[in-house]
């Protein structure tokens, strides 16, 4: 498996480096040139383009400034190599973290299987990411680093999230999770780092100009809800046909029914609540509490660490499924979830393994469905089919993880309960239908 994944990786990299024309990286390239020349990055556009396309925070334009001294084709090839290296870094960190949290042997063979399996499951999205030289590689690497340092180095975790938030705003979905799980240091570091990275370009271009750019960038977010402001970044409407999120799909349905599409922002949370109800049932069925897993509860070496990792991947799923503008290439960030799913296959047996495999196949079918190819492909994309199948895939992974963690809970609590309250009380607690309280220890 490792050899196959490596061959695919190298072939795709070779083909993209041979490309003789720039791709969408030119949007970032000309934004960086505008930054150096004193222009407005949100008014910049590649030659021949009919509209401004740079919508990111000013930090990424600053990062691309060194490449603006090359020709656009050369700069694109350099960034393609950077994308490939960031992917390898994310795979290496993700495979190592998966083996640790799922208590797998830390052998080179296992690491290769997890990394290669994750890459093969996300090969289509990796191909698109590499072929367009986009920014999702930075987001993925930051997310994996944040997970790896979540409870061991919370300040570094927050810095990783703060950096990624200045590449993609949606990654700030992590902040409520950190607050709910009482990871105060990581949450504080996230808030401070997000502000710090947002202000960083001011050192080069001046803080007044940087503040204007931030105002334009944030103003562009209103474009998703058809709220336009002067000078705001040019974002696509919520009903954009290439967006495969459920929020956009609902907006298209509402628009077809002559109803304000912005009401999708009210309907999407209902679907999210329905999925949370399903997750609650999965936790309860395995006698687990859905109370946020605080760092004080999750000890190193506990199976609960695997559940935290799956919840962390769930934050990425929530961003993709319910975000206002999500294209298929954004699914590249699911490489982390793919690695967790491969690691989970080592730990579950029987019915749970079959359900997980079925979920993975359904997720792959949704991602591989041709977008806009014929009536079926067009309709599948129009209703956000890839997001629906992603929810099924994630539900299967969460179910498998809850089953594996729950199967251990009784055995872990038995000695402690035996010491504290005796066999009769212990039997009463273990046989009770209510979920177990995770605060009792890992």
Q: How confident is the model over 338-388, as pLDDT tens digits?
A: 999 999 999 999 999 999 999 999 999 998 887 655 567 778 888 899 999
- Residue 218 pLDDT > 50: yes
Whole-Å CA distances, 319 to 240, 260, 272, 314: 17, 23, 11, 9
pLDDT of residue 201: 92
pTM: 0.87
Owner of token pair 């399903």? 278
Tell me the percentage of the chain whose pLDDT exceeds 90: 55
Assess if residue 140 is contained within a domain.
no
Q: Kindly state whether residues 226 and 362 are assigned to the same domain.
A: no
190 pLDDT band, cuts 50/70/90, is very high
pLDDT in tens, 129-148: 988 888 999 999 999 999 99
Assess if residue 143 is contained within a domain.
no
Check if the beta carbon of residue 279 is closer than 8 Å to that of residue 307: no
Identify which of 442, 418, 439 has the alpha carbon closest to the alpha carbon of residue 430: 418
Element (H, E) at 247: helix 246-256
Q: Kindly state whether residues 308 and 223 are assigned to the same domain.
A: no
Residues 6+ apart with CB under 8 A from 251: 238, 239, 261, 262, 264
Assess if residue 128 is contained within a domain.
yes
Tokens of 258: 């002559």
pLDDT in tens, 390-414: 999 999 999 999 999 988 654 443 3
Tokens of 366: 């949704």
pLDDT of residue 161: 96
Q: Kindly state whether residues 264 and 342 are assigned to the same domain.
A: yes
Element (H, E) at 190: helix 184-199
Q: Kindly state whether residues 378 and 304 are assigned to the same domain.
A: yes
Residue with the bigger pLDDT between 236 and 123: it is: 123
pLDDT in tens, 163-185: 999 998 888 999 999 999 999 99
Q: Kindly state whether residues 211 and 243 are assigned to the same domain.
A: no
Q: Kindly state whether residues 4 and 92 are assigned to the same domain.
A: yes
Q: How far apart, in whole angstroms, are the C-alpha atoms of residue 95 and residue 184? A: 27
Q: Kindly state whether residues 383 and 407 are assigned to the same domain.
A: yes
pLDDT of residue 43: 87
- Residue 21 pLDDT > 60: yes
Q: Kindly state whether residues 225 and 278 are assigned to the same domain.
A: no
- Residue 162 pLDDT > 80: yes
Assess if residue 226 is contained within a domain.
yes
- Residue 252 pLDDT > 90: yes
CB atoms within 10 A of CB 333: 29
pLDDT in tens, 53-94: 788 889 999 999 999 999 998 999 999 999 999 999 999 999
Q: Kindly state whether residues 290 and 261 are assigned to the same domain.
A: yes
Assess if residue 196 is contained within a domain.
no
Length of the chain (residues): 442
pLDDT of residue 232: 63
Element (H, E) at 51: none
Q: Kindly state whether residues 243 and 124 are assigned to the same domain.
A: no
424 pLDDT band, cuts 50/70/90, is very low
Among 150-159, 249-258, 420-429, name the one with the lowest average pLDDT.
420-429
Compute the mean pLDDT over every residue in the chain, rounded to the nearest whole number: 85
Q: Kindly state whether residues 220 and 307 are assigned to the same domain.
A: no
Assess if residue 174 is contained within a domain.
no
Check if the beta carbon of residue 220 is closer than 8 Å to that of residue 55: yes
pLDDT of residue 432: 33
Residues 6+ apart with CB under 8 A from 122: 331, 332, 334, 335, 338
Domain count, the chain: 2
Mean per-residue pLDDT, 245-255? 93
pLDDT of residue 372: 54
Q: Among 214, 233, 252, which residue terminates a domain?
A: 233
pLDDT in tens, 287-331: 888 777 666 667 777 888 999 999 999 999 999 999 888 888 899
Assess if residue 126 is contained within a domain.
yes
pLDDT of residue 85: 95
418 pLDDT band, cuts 50/70/90, is very low
Q: Kindly state whether residues 339 and 434 are assigned to the same domain.
A: yes
State which residues form the domain around 38. Answer: 1-134+201-233
45 pLDDT band, cuts 50/70/90, is confident
- Residue 39 pLDDT > 80: yes
Tokens of 288: 């687990």
């Amino acid at each position: 498996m490792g050899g196959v994944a490596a061959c695919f990786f190298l072939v795709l990299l070779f083909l993209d480096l041979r490309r003789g024309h720039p791709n969408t990286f030119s949007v970032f390239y000309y934004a960086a040139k505008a930054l150096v020349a004193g222009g407005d990055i949100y008014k910049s556009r590649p030659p021949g383009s009919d509209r401004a396309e740079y919508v990111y925070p000013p930090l990424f334009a600053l990062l691309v400034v060194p490449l603006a001294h090359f020709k656009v084709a050369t700069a694109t090839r350099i960034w393609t190599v950077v994308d490939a290296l960031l992917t390898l870094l994310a795979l290496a960190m993700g495979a190592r973290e998966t083996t640790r949290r799922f208590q797998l042997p830390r052998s080179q063979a296992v690491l290769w299987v997890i990394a290669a399996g994750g890459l093969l499951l996300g090969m289509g999205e990796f191909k698109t990411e590499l072929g367009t030289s986009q920014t999702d590689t930075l987001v993925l690497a930051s997310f994996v680093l944040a997970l790896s340092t979540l409870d061991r180095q919370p300040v570094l975790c927050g810095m990783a999230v703060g950096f990624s938030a200045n590449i993609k705003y949606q990654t700030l979905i992590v902040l409520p999770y950190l607050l709910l799980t009482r990871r105060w240091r990581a949450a504080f570091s996230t808030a401070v780092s997000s502000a710090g990275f947002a202000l960083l370009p001011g050192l080069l271009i001046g803080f007044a100009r940087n503040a204007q750019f931030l105002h334009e960038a944030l103003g562009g977010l209103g474009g998703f809800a058809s709220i336009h402001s002067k000078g705001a970044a040019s974002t696509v409407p919520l009903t954009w046909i290439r967006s495969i999120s459920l929020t956009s799909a609902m907006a298209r349905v509402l628009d077809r029914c002559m109803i304000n599409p912005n009401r999708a922002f009210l309907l999407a949370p209902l679907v999210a609540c329905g999925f949370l109800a399903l997750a609650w049932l999965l936790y309860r069925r395995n006698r687990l509490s859905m109370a946020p897993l605080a760092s004080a509860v999750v000890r190193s070496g506990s199976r609960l660490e695997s559940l935290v990792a799956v919840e962390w991947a769930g934050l990425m799923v929530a961003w993709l499924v319910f975000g206002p503008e999500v294209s298929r290439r954004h699914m590249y960030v699911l490489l982390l979830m793919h690695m967790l799913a491969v690691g989970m296959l080592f730990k579950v047996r029987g019915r749970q393994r079959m359900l997980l495999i079925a979920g993975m196949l359904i997720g792959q079918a949704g991602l591989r469905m041709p977008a806009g190819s014929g009536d079926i492909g067009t309709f599948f994309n129009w209703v956000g089919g890839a997001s629906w199948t992603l929810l099924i895939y994630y539900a299967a992974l969460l179910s498998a993880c809850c089953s594996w963690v729950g199967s251990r809970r009784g055995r872990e609590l038995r000695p402690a309960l035996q010491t504290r309250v005796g066999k009769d009380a212990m039997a009463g607690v273990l046989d009770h239908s209510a979920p177990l309280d995770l605060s009792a220890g890992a």
